[in-house]
Amino acid sequence: MSKKKTKFCCQVCGYETPKWMGKCPGCNEWNTMVEEIELPKSSRRQSFVTSSETIAGTNKPQMITTIQSVSEPRIYTEYKEMDRVLGGGIVPGSLVLIGGDPGIGKSTLLLQISSQLANRNHKVLYISGEESPRQTKLRADRLRIESDNLFVLSETDLAYIEKAIDEMNPSFVVIDSIQTVYHPEVQSAPGSVSQVRECTSHFMRIAKTKGIAIFLVGHVTKEGSIAGPRLLEHMVDAVLYFEGERHHTYRILRAVKNRFGSTNEMGIFEMKEEGLREVLNPSEIFLEERSEGAAGSIVVASMEGTRPVLVEIQALIAPTSFGNPRRMATGIDHNRVSLIMAVLEKRVGFLLGAYDAYLKVAGGIKLDEPAIDLGVAVSIASSFRDQPSNPTDVVFGEVGLTGEIRRVSRVEQRVQEAAKLGFKRVIIPERNIGGWTAPKGIEVIGVSTVAEALDHTLER
């Protein structure tokens, strides 16, 4: 009998080495090397090369002009939010990875989507490696799910899972979760780098050869990234993150990778007793508890992909008790807050060096586009002067280091969203005026500097 070869594999990044090391050369993490039995070359070739050959269909190079372009039909769900994040619906033969914190609602979301697809005469197989069929049935009863096209299987062995898929031939498969599935030929524990890599490779081959849309649920680490090697995110077609606070009812679904659509889209759901409910107009949700006439509050128009969202930015400027003032922000990069405060101090004359600054985006949403700069500046100035801003104003624009207001994109969609929610005035960069028509009932004011914007927004 041939001697089994072993290797040491990093459980964080997947770096392989023939000898043990205390520190991984790939990711510089300590004590992450675990000994694993190396697969024979024939097994590795069957796992990886066969799948790529099947996907390509031929080994010969082809001219790109001779390849026929075929538009992939989409499978639509009842959740428009989910379809938007996926780029217009589920693509047959796609492999999608969904990650999120424990208890955030990943299994609930996929079980509800499975029920919706099953009600549209699509055969769905829900494979759970963490729950028994009775436990899955209890959750289905709570969600009021009943369909003869939805099948449940509790299995972790990849060989039996592949056999069940071959016999049933579904159009949609859910694997909950990929860290619980193991390859019988890989001599390592489920959830290890080798197991996750081999199992994902097999599911990729199944999805591409049979045209089955497969959703994989992935655990996350304490840092918030999906557990397993980074290779896992490179192999799949789309990576979705399900975010939100466990003690709040709203959940946000974001795409960080999508081969079939944009990665800037965002879907918002609300957790109810009967499951997740999509939020079609998130601007009303984020503004429903806004207190008018309070200093340090302003509404900004932000873009999440192709959707405009109106959110409230709150600021609190208070005298510092220490020599070094604090700069804290929730939902905004604190470095951007420090930058804008420096602009206000240098270009407008605000002496903020002896004040602490606390900023927050109401509703728990995270904003990272430059168009929110003007809203941050107005909220800080409003709290510093203790002057409320006009409650019917919406602002957006990028702030430069010289105090100028720079143009932003998708101005018309932002203004239309503000008009739809009843706002009377919108403050925008002066260079964005022209080339489009403003809706009736809303006044558009163009500003070129931060000082000019503060003169328009702060009440005297």
Going by the annotation, the residues of the binding site for ATP are 100-107
Tell me how far apart the alpha carbons of residues 24 and 12 are, in angstroms, rounded to a whole number.
Answer: 9
Residue pair 359/329 in contact (Cβ under 8 Å)? The answer is yes
Residue 340 is given by DSSP the state H
Of the CA atoms within 13 Å of residue 195, those in its CB half-sphere come to 22
Closest by Cα among 98, 361, 367, 101 to 246: 101
DSSP 3-state of 34: strand
Closest by Cα among 412, 420, 421 to 444: 412
Tell me how far apart the alpha carbons of residues 458 and 315 are, in angstroms, rounded to a whole number.
Answer: 14
b/e for 352-385, b at 16 or more Cβ within 10 A? beebbbbbbbbbbbebeeebbbbbbbbbbbbbbe
Annotated binding residues, written as ranges, equal 100-107
Closest by Cα among 376, 436, 392, 430 to 410: 436
